[in-house]
Amino acid sequence: MAEQYEKRRFGDRRDGRLLRSLSPFQRFTPYIMKSRNDATNYYSDALEITEVETWLRELRRQGWKGMGLLHLFLAAYVRTVSQCPGVNRFINAQKIYARNNIEVVMIVKKSLTVEAEETAIKVIFDPADTVFDVYRKINEKIEEVKAADSDSSTENVAEGLMKIPGPLLRFAVGVLKLMDYLDLLPRSLLNASPFHGSLIITDLGSLGTPPVYHHIYNFGNLSFFIAFGSKRRAMELDRSGAPTERKYVDYRISMDERISDGSYLVNSMKYMKYFLSHPKELEHPPTQIKEDVF
């Protein structure tokens, strides 16, 4: 089914294809809510991780060193996109597009020290990826950044822009926004931009803090931001009424509500929660991959 979309049509962008079969109301909505901050919905949930931690320990014993919750969240998101492709859409120039691939942006440190510089990386995933594919692609990208003598493409672009005097820089950013609106940004700049992609994810648990509701940026076209926090314990009653201790990880999602209707987005979050709670299903490719509408 994907083959019919390979040829770029009039109205498509470098990073996505225009959705033409959506209802008039859905296509009209971006003209009412013009910015992502106007249209951001916030979603929160908690994952009970007793079985998840057992699963992660077993994978680490099998040789998947460092396999953790970050890999699980990303694998669950990728699998959700394979079944609910509408979550991988974006808005540009008040039009709704299906993204050509799954692009995840992460902020990583170049070394494991407090003073180490941070840099943005962008990892490309396929809907058929398993948790092991996710693990491999993330680790390869991180090792590539750590081994590089020079800065990443994102930092190089930022460094070049910061050489421009302040008033001219504001004008230059305005020009970039206009170019983005008209789909005139070069592919190299899109690849370097941390503001263009499917998702930004942040592991605040590594800092020992709970998750935050992070805004999504008006510049670029990112539609999702996921933050998950540190592990917490809670005393609860089991089915027999006896007190028992359980362990949770809270997570928060900020999303652009204009990309799909509310029912679709809620069902997508249910899919994601299911895959987070049943991680063994992520060890194998999905039995089918659903394509977005025409």
What pLDDT, on the 0 to 100 scale, is given for residue 98?
98
* Domains assigned to the chain: 2-283 (3.30.559.10)
What percentage of residues in the chain have a pLDDT greater than 90?
A: 76
What pLDDT, on the 0 to 100 scale, is given for residue 227?
96
What pLDDT, on the 0 to 100 scale, is given for residue 4?
43
**Residue 122 burial by Cβ neighbours in a 10 Å radius (0-12, 13-18, 19+):** buried
Residue 83 to residue 248: CA distance in whole angstroms: 26
Is the pLDDT at 77 greater than 70, yes or no? yes
Higher pLDDT, 78 or 3: 78
What pLDDT, on the 0 to 100 scale, is given for residue 2?
45
What pLDDT, on the 0 to 100 scale, is given for residue 1?
42
Residue 95 to residue 11: CA distance in whole angstroms: 10
For 289, the token pair is 């991959």
What pLDDT, on the 0 to 100 scale, is given for residue 116?
62
Sheet of 118-125, strand order = 40-48, 243-256, 224-237, 199-203, 102-109, 118-125
What pLDDT, on the 0 to 100 scale, is given for residue 27?
95
